[in-house]
């Protein structure tokens, strides 16, 4: 298992915000922000140190870290700096990456999983990493999948949400006090769910009525409550946490959600973005850095936003004009503005235009252009940018080698 620092916290693994794309359900929220479909790539997703793309032929390609078999190509368990095909999958509509595992949703509504199983993420009760995808049992009629660091969520066609994996802070939202669940269980008190997103140890759900519901850890007010902040020994075992969902007051008319490490984001129907939770690196985008903010605040300087996404400690907005804006932590170049400095107000990602999807990963991001070009920036220690190198980038570079990709063009 890989141990990494996430926003100053030592975690086993790291948050991923998964891509959802135009599968059997809505494409809202953190992992993917989508305006349409482009070229041969249907949707893009990010793991902690890996990237994934679903092609129009229903096959999945992956690149980056393979320590736990999350690349899924049955080859050596070493990183890949350019995309390779995941073996044994077809008919895929979307893919999601978590800390060290990955999930594919098929057209028939089933979910397949591979990679790490340290917290029961593969739902096979084996707790053994696996390179090859296998069926998640007892789960059908799924239309969307999302992931946290070691927890997984599935939305079914009936509007219910189901979860499994790590539950140390009640982040599965089922009302159970068990630390781990190796089988999917229904989230408590939720119906009409259209999107679920996960932070490090908390979860967020968008309902059909435009309200947002939250559960899990609340030490940095990420549940919209008072929180209590970190203790001298680190993250507390329980700090106003909740293992069942409750509504965030004041958030209405929401059309998309996103989740960063310990921060939540909501896109209103009027094109404005609202944020709450951890603000150590300026993740809330309001120009004021605080330890934790329970009341949602408006991200400044952004209008006409059509989709949102988040990385571990950074966030992204896709505007109606096809440009991408970023804020939060920037020491790995994850803001894509040519700098390695963090920003508490949004800045424009350089060189991107006509973008239809943006995805946040651990400390990197991906953007899909309407012509089918895929771009990446940020940390690249394990080849997670897919450009054939292990060199970090503070401006977008081209992901190489995906089938059907258009030829490079001058910028």
pLDDT of res. 24: 37
Q: 231: which DSSP letter? A: B
CA angle 44, 46, 49 (to 5 degrees): 145
The full set of domains in the chain, from first to last, is 14-297 (2.130.10.30)
CA angle 84, 309, 282 (to 5 degrees): 120
Q: CB atoms < 10 A from the CB of 42, how many?
A: 25
Q: Is 202 helix (H, G, I), strand (E, B) or coil?
A: strand
The partner residues of 366 in beta bridges, in order of sequence, read 359, 376
Query: For residue 158, what are the contacts with CB-CB under 8 A and spacing of at least 6?
Result: 141
Q: Per-residue confidence of the chain (411 residues) as pLDDT tens digits?
A: 343 445 643 333 333 333 333 233 333 333 345 554 444 899 999 999 999 999 999 999 999 999 999 999 989 999 999 999 999 999 999 999 999 999 999 999 999 999 999 999 999 999 999 999 999 999 999 999 999 999 999 999 999 999 999 999 999 999 999 999 999 999 999 999 999 999 999 999 999 999 999 999 998 888 887 666 555 454 444 467 899 999 998 899 999 999 999 999 999 999 999 999 999 999 999 999 888 889 999 999 999 999 999 999 999 999 999 999 999 999 999 999 999 999 999 999 999 999 999 999 999 999 999 999 999 999 999 999 999 999 999 999 999 999 876 665 655
pLDDT of res. 32: 46
Cα distance between residue 138 and residue 124, in whole Å: 11
Q: CB atoms < 10 A from the CB of 88, how many?
A: 16
Cα distance between residue 343 and residue 33, in whole Å: 21
Query: For residue 124, what are the contacts with CB-CB under 8 A and spacing of at least 6?
Result: 113, 117, 130, 134, 137, 182
Cα distance between residue 197 and residue 18, in whole Å: 8
CB 326 within 8 Å of CB 334: yes
Q: Which of 333, 403, 409 is nearest to 369 (CA)?
A: 409
Cα distance between residue 80 and residue 390, in whole Å: 10
Q: 288: which DSSP letter? A: -
pLDDT of res. 407: 61
Q: CB atoms < 10 A from the CB of 132, how many?
A: 14
Q: Which of 245, 266, 99 is nearest to 172 (CA)?
A: 245
Cα distance between residue 395 and residue 375, in whole Å: 9
Cα distance between residue 223 and residue 201, in whole Å: 11
């Amino acid at each position: 298992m890989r141990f990494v620092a996430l926003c100053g916290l030592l975690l086993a693994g790291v948050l991923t915000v998964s891509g959802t794309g135009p599968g059997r359900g809505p494409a809202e929220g953190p992992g993917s922000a989508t305006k349409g479909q482009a070229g041969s790539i249907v949707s893009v997703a990010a793991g902690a140190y890996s990237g994934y793309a679903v092609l129009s032929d229903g096959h999945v390609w992956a690149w980056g870290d393979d320590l736990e078999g999350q690349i899924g190509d049955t080859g050596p368990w070493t990183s890949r700096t350019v995309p390779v095909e995941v073996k044994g999958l077809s008919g895929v509509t979307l893919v999601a990456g978590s800390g060290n595992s990955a999930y594919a949703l098929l057209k028939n509504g089933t979910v397949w999983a591979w990679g790490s199983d340290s917290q029961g993420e593969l739902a096979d009760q084996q707790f053994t990493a696996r390179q090859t995808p296998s069926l998640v049992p007892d789960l059908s009629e799924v239309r969307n999948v999302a992931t946290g660091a070691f927890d997984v969520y599935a939305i079914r066609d009936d509007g219910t949400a189901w979860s499994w994996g790590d539950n140390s802070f009640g982040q599965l939202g089922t009302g159970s006090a068990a630390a781990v669940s190796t089988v999917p269980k229904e989230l408590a008190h939720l119906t009409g769910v259209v999107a679920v997103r996960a932070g490090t140890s908390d979860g967020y759900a968008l309902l059909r009525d435009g309200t947002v519901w939250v559960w899990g850890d609340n030490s940095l007010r990420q549940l919209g409550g008072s929180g209590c902040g970190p203790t001298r020994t680190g993250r507390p075992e329980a700090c106003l946490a909740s293992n069942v969902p409750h509504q965030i007051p004041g958030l209405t008319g929401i059309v998309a959600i996103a989740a960063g490490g310990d921060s939540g984001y909501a896109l209103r129907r009027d094109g404005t973005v609202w944020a709450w939770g951890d603000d150590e690196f300026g993740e809330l985008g309001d120009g004021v850095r605080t330890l934790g903010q329970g009341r949602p605040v408006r991200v400044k300087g952004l209008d006409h936003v059509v989709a949102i996404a988040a990385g571990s400690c950074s966030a992204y907005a896709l505007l109606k004009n096809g440009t991408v804006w970023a804020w939060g932590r920037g020491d790995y170049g994850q803001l894509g503005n040519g700098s390695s400095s963090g920003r508490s107000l949004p800045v424009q990602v350089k060189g991107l235009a006509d973008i239809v999807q943006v995805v946040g990963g651990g400390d990197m991001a991906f953007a899909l252009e309407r012509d089918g070009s895929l771009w990446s920036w940020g940390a690249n220690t394990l080849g997670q940018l897919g450009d054939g190198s292990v060199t970090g980038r503070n401006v977008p570079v081209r992901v190489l080698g995906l089938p059907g990709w258009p030829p490079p063009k001058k910028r």
